Structure 1
C-alpha cells in the first residue's frame, strides 16, 4: 500500500502542476497562432527540449527498455533507428518546412497545388499516423498502472481486475489529454513537454548511474549478468534473437525474418521526417536559425537519452529478469519501472526505498505519456480544423475563433477513437507500435513532402497519389499482418486472417508511396506551376515571406 499511496500522490501532484500550467497558458492563448504554434515565441533551446519531450515517448522509456530487456542486442535497433532518423529530419525537412508553412504539414503540400484534394489527403494521413502513435502511449499507460497498483492476472484493486484497471487507465489518460489540448493549445502542451523532458532525463540518468553502480561500473559484468539472467545465454548479446532470425530447414521463414528486420530499419530511419506532431513543432520558433538550433538541441538530448536506454534495458534483464518482466506485462513495457523498484530496494533502504523509486519513475513515465498524447492530439485536431474546416469547407472565409473552436471539438473525437483502439492493443510492445506509426508516416507523408520541396514538376495528382497510395498500402498490410491476427501477441490472438508475412510494412509501403507520387505526376495532364515552385524554393531556403 505504501507504494500505491506514494505513486498516486506523486501522480496527482504532477497532474495538478501540469493542469495549472495548461490553465495559465490558456490565458495567453488569444489567436490561432497562439493555439497552433504557441505564438512562435519559443527559443531554439526550449523548443529543442519540447521536441525531445515529444520524441522521448512511452515507446522510448517503457518500450525500448522492455524490448532490450527481453531480446538484448536486437532491442537496441530501436534506439539507433530513432536517433539516426533525426539526421534525415534535420538535413531534409526541418528548416525548409518551417520556412514554407504556417501551422500544419498540409500548408507546405498545398502551397503550389490545388488546396482541397491535397489538404484533405494530408489531414487524413495526419490523423491516421497520430492514432497509431496514440495507441502506443495508451497501451503503455495501461501496463504502467497495473504494475503500480500491484494488479496481476487474478488480483483486484477497488473491485477491478487487471484488465478492467488497464481499460480504466486508458480512458482516464484519454480524458486528460483532451483537457490539455482543448484548454492550453500549443503553449500549454509545449510547457508540459519541457517539464516532462527535464524529469525524464533526470530520472533516466539516476537509474543509469544506479545500474552501473550495482555492477561497480563494470560494463562486462553488467552484460554478462544480463545474458545469464535472460535464459538465452550468449545469443542475448548477439543479433538475431528477435529480428533476422534464421529458422533451420525453413528458407522462406528465414527470408521473411530478414526482410522484416530491413523493413523495420527503413521505417525507423525515414519515419521521423513524416511525423505530424514533430513537424508542427518547427512552427513554434520565430525564425529558421531557431529551427536549426532546436533540432540540434533535440539531437543532443535524444542521443544522450537513447544511450541511457542501453543501461536501463540490460540493467532490467540483469536485476529483474525476463520471467518477472513478462509475468507482469507480455510486451515487456514495465521493465523500466520494475528496474526502478529493484534499484530503490538495493540502494535506498529496502521496501520503502523501492516503493519511493518506483513511484518517482512511474510519475515520470506518466508525465511522458500525458505530454506526448497531448502533442499528438493537438497535431491531428489542428489539421482537421485548419486544413479541412477552414481551408476546404469554409474556403478560408472563417474567423480564428471558430477555427480554434473546431480544433477543440476535433480533439474530443480523436481522443475517443484512440481510447477505443488502445483497449484492443494491450498485448503489444509500445516501441513496436510506434514503429508501425513510423512506417505509416514514412509511406504517406514523407514522399509528398520531399517531392513538394524538391521536384519542380510535382502536381496535385502526384501529391494525393503519394499520400493515399503510401497510407492505404501501409494500413492494409498492417491489418493483414501477424500484428493484428494469427499470433499469440496479436491484437486479436484468437483469430487469423493474416496473409502478409512481415510485421512492419515499410519495405513495401514506403517505395509504393514514392512510386505513386511519381506515377500520379507523370500520368496527370495538369501542368506544374514553375512560378509557384520558384516562390516555394526561395521561401524554404531563405525564410522570406514565411508566416
Structure 2
C-alpha cells in the first residue's frame, strides 16, 4: 500500500494516459468495425434492432452507470456518509418505475425516439417540437455532469489545478466522443457501452474485494474505520441521515422524487429499448440492467465508506477534482499508480460511453423529430436524415465542451440529479399520460412538456445551485437565489402533471379514436412493432 500525497496522483501521468489511450484505440477499432453495417437510419439510431436482451441490458447498465455513479456517489458517501448513499438507492429504485410503467410499452409503440410514442395519435408538428426540445435540454444537463467528471478526473491524474489545463482535457474528451458517434452510430456506441460496463463492474468488484480484505471481510470494520478516521469531523453521524440534508429535509424529498421518477423519462435510456427486436427482449434487457446496476451500487457503498476510512474526507475534498476524486484516490491507496491508472481509464471509458449515448440520442431527436418530421414533413431520405444527425452531433459536442468547462468542480452525482429532475418534470408526465390516458390531447402534451421544462430549469436557475454560496456555479459573490431547494423535483414534477391535465381538459379538439385504440393495442400486445432489420 502507498500513502496518499499530491505527488502520488501525478507521478505517473505517462502510465495513466497510456492506459486510457489503449482503451480508446481498442474501442475505436470496434466502433469502426461496427460502422460497416450502418446503411440505414435504423442502423444509425437503433443498431438495426439486432441486439439481444442480455447485450442490451449490459449496454443499458453501461449507459446508466455514468461518472455520477462511480465518481460522484463514491465521493458523496465518503464525505456525507448515509446521505451520499441515498443517490445509489434513488438511482436503483428508479429502474422499477421504468420496468413496470414504461419499458415494454415504449418499445411496442415507438420507432426511434420518445417523440414517436407521444405523437402516435396526436398532431405531429407541435408534439415533436416539444419532445425534441425537452430531449435536448435533459441531454445537455446530463452532458454537463459527464464533462465535469472528465475534467476532475484528469486534473487528479495529471495534477492540473489550473482551469486552462482542465478545459483542454474536457475538449479532448468531447472530440473523442464526437468521433465515436460519427463513426459508429448506435451499433458502435452500444459495443463501447457493453465493454465499459464489464470493465467498470469488474474494476469496482476488485476494489470492493480489496477494501473488505483489508478489514477481514467485515463491512462493520470498514464502517468503524470510517467513523474513527481523524479527518472525519462527524463521528458516528456519518451512519445516520442528516449530514447533508438535515437542515432542510424537504430538499432530500425533492431529490428522491427526481431520482426515482427521472429514469423513466431519460431519453437516452428510453432509446435503448428500440435496439432489441421484440418486447420480450426489451423486458429481458431491463431485468439484466437491474441486476448489474444493483450489484454495482452495493459496491459503491463499500467503496465510498472505504475511501472515507482509508483516504479521509478532507484529503478527498482537497484533491484536484474534489469530491469526485474519492474512487481514484482509493485506487491509488490500494494498488498504487498501476491500479490508479486502470481505474481512471475505466472512469474515462465510463464518461466517453455515456457521453456518446447521450449525444446520439440528442442528434437522433433533432434529425428525426425536427428535421425529418417537422421541417421536411417526412419527405426526406434515410441518408439525408443521418447526415443531419451527424452534423447535430458535432454541434452538441461543441456545446457540451463549453458547458462542461463552466461547471468544473461540481459533484457529478448532483449535476445528474438535476438532469433527472428535468426529465421527471418535462418527459415523464407526458409519457404516462400518452400511454394510459385516452383523453390526453396535443395541447396537453405541449403544455406538460414546456410547463415542466420551464418550471424545472427556472427553479434551478434561481436556486442555491447557481448563485449565493461558495459551491454555487457562479460563486458566493453573485446572489439571486430565491428558491431554497437545490433540486426542484418536488415542485416541478407536479407542475408538469398539472399542465398536462389542464391542457387536455381545456382542449376541445377531437383526437383520433382509431389511432388511440391502435396505440393501446400496440402498447399492450406489441402487434405492429417494427421487425428486426435483415442483413
TM-score with structure 1 setting the length: 0.94
Tell me, in whole angstroms, the C-alpha distance in 1 between the residues paired with 2:445 and 2:207.
46
Larger mean Cα displacement after TM superposition, 455-464 or 487-496: 487-496
The size of the alignment, in residue pairs, is 518
- Checking the alignment, whether the CA contact within 8 Å between 1:456 and 1:528 is kept in structure 2 is no
Larger mean Cα displacement after TM superposition, 429-438 or 225-234: 225-234
Tell me, in whole angstroms, the C-alpha distance in 2 between the residues paired with 1:495 and 1:519.
37
SS in 2 for 1:112: coil
Aligned to 1:546: 529
Tell me, in whole angstroms, the C-alpha distance in 2 between the residues paired with 1:272 and 1:320.
32
Larger mean Cα displacement after TM superposition, 486-495 or 74-83: 486-495
Deviation at 1:299, TM superposition (A): 0.2
Deviation at 1:224, TM superposition (A): 1.2
Q: Within 5 Å, give how 1:137-536 maps onto structure 2.
A: 137-151=146-160, 153=161, 162-229=162-229, 230-243=232-245, 245-246=246-247, 257-329=248-320, 331-344=322-335, 354-493=336-475, 494-536=477-519
Deviation at 1:319, TM superposition (A): 0.4
- Checking the alignment, whether the CA contact within 8 Å between 1:138 and 1:422 is kept in structure 2 is yes
SS in 2 for 1:242: coil
Deviations 1:368-391 (A, max 9, x none): 000000000000000000000000
Tell me, in whole angstroms, the C-alpha distance in 2 between the residues paired with 1:200 and 1:220.
25
Tell me, in whole angstroms, the C-alpha distance in 2 between the residues paired with 1:440 and 1:2.
41
Deviation at 1:216, TM superposition (A): 1.1
Tell me, in whole angstroms, the C-alpha distance in 2 between the residues paired with 1:327 and 1:473.
35
- Checking the alignment, whether the CA contact within 8 Å between 2:152 and 2:321 is kept in structure 1 is no
Deviation at 1:427, TM superposition (A): 2.1
Tell me, in whole angstroms, the C-alpha distance in 2 between the residues paired with 1:331 and 1:5.
22
Deviation at 1:331, TM superposition (A): 4.5
Tell me, in whole angstroms, the C-alpha distance in 2 between the residues paired with 1:331 and 1:485.
19
Tell me, in whole angstroms, the C-alpha distance in 1 between the residues paired with 2:409 and 2:192.
28
SS in 2 for 1:395: coil
Corresponding residue to 2:28 among 19, 23, 32: 19
Tell me, in whole angstroms, the C-alpha distance in 2 between the residues paired with 1:319 and 1:75.
17
- Checking the alignment, whether the CA contact within 8 Å between 1:466 and 1:516 is kept in structure 2 is yes
SS in 1 for 2:244: coil
Runs (4+) of structure 1 moved beyond 4 Å? none
Tell me, in whole angstroms, the C-alpha distance in 1 between the residues paired with 2:400 and 2:16.
25
Deviations 1:487-542 (A, max 9, x none): 11111003111111000000000000000000000111112322211100100111
- Checking the alignment, whether the CA contact within 8 Å between 2:153 and 2:321 is kept in structure 1 is no
SS in 2 for 1:449: helix
Which structure 2 residue ranges, 5 or more long, are not aligned? 1-9, 531-535
Larger mean Cα displacement after TM superposition, 221-230 or 504-513: 221-230
TM-score with structure 2 setting the length: 0.96
